[in-house]
A and B are shown apart, each in its own frame.
Chain A
Amino acid sequence: MRRMSVYPQHGTALENLGLTAHEIQQEVENNTSELVSDLSDLSAGARFQAIRSLPMSYNERKAIRNRVNNIKLSKTILPTDCRQQVSLSFRRFRASLTSARQRLVVWQDTLKEIGGRFGTSVLSYFLFLKWLLKFNVFSFVINFCFITIPQIVHAPNISHVTGFRGLELLTGVGYFNQTVLFYGGYDGEVIVSKPAYNMQLAYFFTIAAYMVLCGLSLIYSMSRSFQKNFVLETGPVSGGAWRLLCSWDFSVVNEKAIQYNKNNLGIQLKESLSERLQMKNKISLSDRIKHLSLNLVAWLLCLLLALGSGAGIYFLGTEQLTFSFNQDPNDLVSEASTLLLPVVVSLINLIVPLLYSLIGKMETYSNPRAKIYISIARNIILKMSLLGILCFYWLNFVPDKIPCWESFVGQSVYRLLIIDFIFCLLGIFFGEFLRNVIGTMCIQSLGVPEFDIARNVLDLIYAQTLAWIGIYFSPLLPVMQVLKLFIIFYLKKLSLSMNCQPPKHTGRAAQIQTVFIALLFFPSFVGALSMVAFTVWSLQPSDQCGPFQGLKTPFHTIFNWTDSIQGPPETHWVWWIFENVLRSELFYYLISLIVLVITFFLWQITQGRKQLIKSLREQIVNGGKDKAFLLNKLQNIQRQRREIASYSPQPIRRSMRGSVRTVAQEFDQTTYYNPNWINTLPMDM
């Protein structure tokens, strides 16, 4: 009975109600049959998940599973052996799929080691990196298979203007100029083969399909994460109870890390105790106004810094353009000068966040979580405004001035990514290694640097935005991103173990994870998608290079294709759908209206559920009060009866005394007070 009574109410209730052993057994048997019949009604997948989640010992679960299997077998019409074999092989197949999928997981052991030494919040950074890696590998695979291989197999005559010099790796021009690395290396011909392979359509659809799949995957992850982590927060959540019972990280196995976590927990508990004492004094109005004005000033400064950097990049970019891109391939100096813009961008990305954290030190926030969110918001505004200015400049000025402008944009993105990678390496060296050396040897008060998860994740998001922007202009760019992520993974792990310590405040890591995924979707992915969509929809592609030569906009390939399939009757319906459904605005209005109506209904349901939770909570509190009241009343009655029973008045005859005593004995025997009576009350009030 020990393991069955995990639900405290049921076990102790049965024992205390004074049932005999046989009756208890009967009760247990009834519960088990109910459970078995419930389980056999579920679908296969849900059934096994439910069996695995039963809070019983292994042997009991196995017994239930056998009973359920027998019931399922007896319900079928096929002969027993055949059905058993089929279901057995089906289950084995599903299990082998799971184990095969696990084998494909890269870095499994490394991640276990990182989680064991540094805890789950640092592990979340590495998991995020691994997730981004999946996007890039997928993009590389489909771009390579559908676009690059046909192009290489059917390669047109591209003469290389120069041989390979070392500078290409940094700048992307020269030798790489006409290769398949960039847009210019692709050709828009229809490859004559069986069946005919239209390179224009292939290019367009591959990029479009990848973007759509990416978007769907991001939306799905975002909503799953939101559902899991942003639960209704009613009541104090960042208090002592949570910290004591829910925040201890069981996955840490390293002795030093555990000691570190224990120290942190002690410090945080002390802080929260002292905060509680301080919070008794209310903040005065003038203090609040002061804090608010400081916050406003800080925000103003940050926005000005972001605007200033954006304007600086803009002027630098236009200057470089008017510098007139010298076509002489041997002019190494002017080629190297194209690296100036990426270097300045990376410097801004490095220095301005430090300034932001300095500005942040002068503000005070009542909520430490608000501080993290505001710093994330400011950094994202900076990074996205930089990227926005760059995109604006690329899409508005470059197409008129440069002959093969898509390759130029691809090369610019390539340069930005490479320089960002180099700065990341430098950052690991200077920011973490040297800082550790300084903190431990020279200026002892600085201490070992903390691993700043937010800053690192935002850097990853920035690099991924660049990669998404660059996919249209340089289909093989994901290769570089994959290599970069691989190297950064190992270097960060090394740097973490040698130089940094895990962050001290690890609360609410799951919610910050959701925020990061949401930031990856908007503004990062949405921004990249809108830029690519604008390019495809409205800009005129260059005349001399690329798959869309001669068209008015790249989107016209779709029009040409639909015109070509309008004729033959077997493909006429595709044209019909395209022309009358996808191109008509009414369709989109209807869809938007339906989605809005469904959203409104779901929101109302959520509101209703919130009300329900509130009233249920009140019921629990009232139930507790009822219990306390009844307990008190019973204790009073007991006391009164005992007093009456023990009261013996002086002038009493022998026989009366005897009878009073026997009556008192009777009372004593009948007043059976069970101190555990409270457990016998039904819990479902």
Chain B
Amino acid sequence: MGNKQTIFTDEQLDAYQDCTFFTRKEILRLHGRYHELAPHLVPMDYTNDPDVKVPLALIVNMPELKENPFRNRIVESFSEDGQGNLSFNDFVDMFSVLSEMAPRELKAIYAFKIYDFNVDNYICKEDLEKTLNKLTKEELTPEEVNLVCEKAIEEADLDGDNKLSFADFENMISRAPDFLSTFHIRI
């Protein structure tokens, strides 16, 4: 609709617009960013849907993710294979969920996946300890870490199985209105 670009077909751009929270311009800009990560790997022409995946090590070097304590988990949660290799669709998906237009329920689902380090669909005490260590480094002693995690489970666990299921997590999120604005990465 205006500028002639040859990266995507119009159909593809329509599909991106319908299925993600981005506009055509933003999708093209995202493609530029994706290409920058691995110029020799990512083709400029996506009209025939090439099967290209950028490895984890290159993606976590993006300025938006570089300093984030959860960068590895974020990228892993959005990858098909769980190892952190993102295709362009996964890449767009990631930033779409993390954008400010994504609804709370969608963000809660992915936040749960990010905090679930051992990928067993529950946030257990070990997951909380890993989260805490990523967030505070060496500030707290091991006993304090233990206490904090126990207290967290005590507060949020509703069905009494000593770990947080998705329902518990979502219940906690619903009482934290700031979550929508803090779980947000601008690109």
Residue numbers of A with Cβ under 8 A of B are: 2-3, 5-9, 11-12, 48-49, 51-53, 55, 57-59, 61-62, 65, 88, 91-92, 95-96, 98-99, 102, 112, 115-116, 120, 228-233, 235-237, 239-242, 244-255, 258, 262-263, 265-267, 269-270, 273, 276, 507-511, 617, 620-621, 623-625, 627-628, 678, 683
Residue numbers of B with Cβ under 8 A of A are: 1, 14-15, 17-21, 23-25, 63-64, 66-70, 80, 82, 89-90, 92-93, 96, 98, 102-103, 105-106, 109-111, 113, 115, 121-123, 128, 131-132, 135-137, 139-140, 144, 147-149, 151-153, 155-156, 158-161, 165-167, 169, 172-186
Residues from chain A with a CB closer than 8 A to the CB of B17 are: 91, 95
Residues from chain A with a CB closer than 8 A to the CB of B158 are: 617, 620-621, 624
Residues from chain B with a CB closer than 8 A to the CB of A267 are: 139
Given A265-B135, A270-B140, A623-B159, CB of A244 within 8 Å of CB of B152:
yes
Tell me, in angstroms, the Cα distance from A102 to B165 when the chains sit together: 38
Give 7 new A-B contacts, CB below 8 A, not counting A273-B144, A623-B159: A2-B82, A3-B80, A55-B109, A95-B24, A251-B184, A269-B140, A510-B181
Given A231-B175, A244-B131, A247-B182, CB of A266 within 8 Å of CB of B122:
no
Tell me, in angstroms, the Cα distance from A237 to B19 when the chains sit together: 35
Tell me, in angstroms, the Cα distance from A49 to B98 when the chains sit together: 15
Q: For residue A508, which residue of chain B has the nearest CB?
A: B178
Residues from chain B with a CB closer than 8 A to the CB of A53 are: 102-103, 105-106
A95 adjacent to B23 (CB under 8 Å): yes
> Per a CB cutoff under 8 Å, which of A65, A266, A511 touches B140?
A266
Expressed in whole angstroms, the minimum distance between the Cβ of A507 and any Cβ of chain B is: 8
Residues from chain B with a CB closer than 8 A to the CB of A92 are: 1, 14
Return the 10 tightest CB-CB contacts between A and B, nearest first: A266-B139, A624-B159, A8-B121, A624-B160, A58-B89, A241-B152, A246-B176, A229-B177, A241-B156, A510-B177
B23 adjacent to A102 (CB under 8 Å): yes
Expressed in whole angstroms, the minimum distance between the Cβ of B63 and any Cβ of chain A is: 6
Given A8-B166, A244-B135, A245-B115, CB of A120 within 8 Å of CB of B181:
yes
Q: For residue A261, which residue of chain B has the nearest CB?
A: B135
Tell me, in angstroms, the Cα distance from A239 to B1 when the chains sit together: 51
Residues from chain B with a CB closer than 8 A to the CB of A262 are: 69, 135-137, 139
Expressed in whole angstroms, the minimum distance between the Cβ of A601 and any Cβ of chain B is: 25
B178 adjacent to A120 (CB under 8 Å): yes
A98 adjacent to B23 (CB under 8 Å): yes
Residues from chain B with a CB closer than 8 A to the CB of A102 are: 23
Residues from chain A with a CB closer than 8 A to the CB of B103 are: 49, 53
12 sampled A-B residue pairs with Cβ under 8 A: A8-B166, A9-B166, A53-B105, A57-B80, A58-B90, A58-B92, A62-B15, A241-B153, A244-B128, A248-B135, A266-B139, A678-B161
Tell me, in angstroms, the Cα distance from A251 to B180 when the chains sit together: 11
Tell me, in angstroms, the Cα distance from A99 to B136 when the chains sit together: 40
> Per a CB cutoff under 8 Å, which of B147, B152, B167 touches A683?
B167
A contacts with B: majority SS: helix
Given A120-B178, A621-B159, CB of A240 within 8 Å of CB of B80:
no
Residues from chain A with a CB closer than 8 A to the CB of B185 are: 250-251, 253
> Per a CB cutoff under 8 Å, which of B147, B148, B175 touches A244?
B148
Tell me, in angstroms, the Cα distance from A7 to B148 when the chains sit together: 27
Q: For residue B21, which residue of chain A has the nearest CB?
A: A52
Q: For residue A628, which residue of chain B has the nearest CB?
A: B160
Residues from chain A with a CB closer than 8 A to the CB of B159 are: 620-621, 623-624, 627
Expressed in whole angstroms, the minimum distance between the Cβ of B132 and any Cβ of chain A is: 6
> Per a CB cutoff under 8 Å, which of A55, A250, A273 touches B183?
A250
A65 adjacent to B176 (CB under 8 Å): no
Expressed in whole angstroms, the minimum distance between the Cβ of A680 and any Cβ of chain B is: 13
A253 adjacent to B63 (CB under 8 Å): yes
A91 adjacent to B151 (CB under 8 Å): no
Residues from chain A with a CB closer than 8 A to the CB of B180 are: 228
B165 adjacent to A8 (CB under 8 Å): yes
Tell me, in angstroms, the Cα distance from A678 to B161 when the chains sit together: 10
A246 adjacent to B182 (CB under 8 Å): yes
Q: For residue A625, which residue of chain B has the nearest CB?
A: B160
Tell me, in angstroms, the Cα distance from A258 to B68 when the chains sit together: 8
Tell me, in angstroms, the Cα distance from A96 to B25 when the chains sit together: 10
Residues from chain B with a CB closer than 8 A to the CB of A3 are: 80
Given A96-B1, A253-B67, A258-B67, CB of A48 within 8 Å of CB of B18:
yes
Q: For residue B26, which residue of chain A has the nearest CB?
A: A99
B177 adjacent to A228 (CB under 8 Å): yes
Residues from chain A with a CB closer than 8 A to the CB of B111 are: 245
> Which of A242, A246, A276, A627 has the most chain B CB atoms inside 10 A of its CB?
A246
Residues from chain A with a CB closer than 8 A to the CB of B176 are: 237, 242, 246-247
B24 adjacent to A620 (CB under 8 Å): no
Tell me, in angstroms, the Cα distance from A623 to B184 when the chains sit together: 34
Residues from chain A with a CB closer than 8 A to the CB of B105 are: 53
Residues from chain A with a CB closer than 8 A to the CB of B155 are: 235-236, 239-242
